[in-house]
Amino acid sequence: MTSAARALLAAGLAVMSANGAAQDPVPIEQEPRHRLAFENTRIRFFDVQLPPGYRSMVHIHHHDGVFVNISPAETEAEDWGKPPVRRAPRTPGESYFIGYAKTPKAHRVSNVGSTEYRVTDTEILQGCGERAPDDTARSGPVLVDNKRVRVTRIELAPGASTPLHGPCGMLVLVTSGTARFDGPGGVETVAFAPAGFKWRDGTLPVAMKNVGNEPLHAVDILVK
């Protein structure tokens, strides 16, 4: 945990104690509905699934993260010490970056809708060092581009393909589908469910082709 996150935790505990709150905040990986599905030295990938009526535990974010909406629903966000804020459903595939490394946040989220709320959180632990990506490295329309990541939307009709650029990145599936990956390590075909993912780490591009019968929608997170 970073020093900023520890300071936030200490301050929050004091506030909660003064207010008589029953639950101490927990690290994100201890919130039951924030499932840690993948991690390495560069990222942690959480698959967050909140059923209707679920109110999460108060949890702390202290790493920068890219969020990809899979199954949107109406939610209520409650930042520590602030009143709840109602949020309208986002669209599937809508993605955004939050810089929690500089400004950690403790909050809880409630699903106040009638359908499951599902979102993925790719935490950026460290970049890819000196292997900076080419500025033209794009797999589709750019959704986010900053010092830490370049996020692009991928929509492939059956038979269509696109390059996935290095030096490293995380592909997140919004829809189900089957894709073939052709790169330096060989050829691999993967059947994905929504919120499926594939990590890559290499300097050379990987060709991704939709070999299924339905359009494929994904979001690619290139880590800088």
pLDDT of 78-118, one tens digit each?
Answer: 998 889 999 999 999 999 999 999 999 999 999 999 999 99
Which phi and psi angles does 167 have, rounded to 5°?
Answer: -85, -25
* Helix, strand, coil % over all residues of the chain, rounded to 5: 10, 50, 45
Q: Under 8 Å CB-to-CB from 155, ≥6 apart: which residues? A: 140, 215, 216, 217
pLDDT of residue 3: 58
Which phi and psi angles does 178 have, rounded to 5°?
Answer: -125, 130
Contact 25, 17 (CB under 8 A): no
Chain CA centroid to CA 213, Å: 27
Domains and CATH numbers, the chain: 3-124 (2.60.120.10), 142-223 (2.60.120.10)
Band the pLDDT of 23: cuts 50, 70, 90: low
pTM, two decimals, is: 0.88
- pLDDT tens for each residue of 160-200: 999 998 889 999 999 999 999 999 889 999 999 999 999 99
Q: Of all helices (H) and strands (E), which one includes residue 6?
A: helix 3-19
Q: How many CB atoms lie within 10 A of CB 208?
A: 26
Q: Under 8 Å CB-to-CB from 82, ≥6 apart: which residues? A: none
Q: Under 8 Å CB-to-CB from 224, ≥6 apart: which residues? A: 127, 128, 132, 133, 147, 148, 149, 150
